[in-house]
Amino acid sequence: MPIQDQTTARLSEALTAFCLNYATPPLLDASHVRLGFDNQNTLPSDGNDFCVVTQISQRRVGTNIERWDRQGEEVLELREYVEMSVQLDCYSTNLFDAQRRAQTYETVCRSSVGVEHFAEYDIDCLYSEDCQNLSGVVDAAQYVSRWMVMLTLGYWKRVAVPEDFFSAADLNIVNVDVQFKPEG
């Protein structure tokens, strides 16, 4: 069995669902939520209303925890608690829609609703920073509204490593002095 990282896909899934579920005004579908640093993706063709989710940093909190599962597969599970900063960039051609989305994400993250959403994915919603206006001129020489909010999430990174175990031993007990007589 190869080494398996059991956390990355759940993070992307949780963040995409968060952006879709709590966007105000609503985003059309999952194609309007983009993962930052994802190559060869084009922006939605129906306009500039979309969100970009970018994992900015992460830091370890504490030391590793090792857990052996003696039932089923022979696996050693390594865990470390990680705090991760995630930047949500909300874009819109409407000057106020991006701002409203960012403010809604901030409000939801600072409530039990945000905590419950991320808890479904085994992620802790720790806190949210204030929204920032990053609007600017783009290629078409027109302003595109861009508002950003930074979320801090926590999760247990879990890595499964194959480990050989045994559950029984066949012992042959002998008297050492009789079996291996001392010389002398």
Structure tokens at 146: 């861009």
Q: Which helix (H) or strand (E) holds 116?
A: helix 112-119
Structure tokens at 47: 């306009």
By three-state DSSP, how is residue 9 classified? Answer: helix
The pairing of strands 143-162 and 75-92 is antiparallel
By three-state DSSP, how is residue 92 classified? Answer: strand
Q: What is the pLDDT of residue 69?
A: 67
Residues of the chain with pLDDT under 70: 1-6, 39, 69-73, 138-141, 165, 184
Residue with tokens 């012992």: 171
Q: What is the pLDDT of residue 99?
A: 96
Amino acid present at 22: Y
Q: What is the pLDDT of residues 86-122, one digit of tens each?
A: 999 999 988 799 999 999 999 999 999 999 999 999 9
Q: What is the pLDDT of residue 44?
A: 80
- Start-to-end C-alpha separation, the chain: 52
pTM above 0.75, yes or no: yes
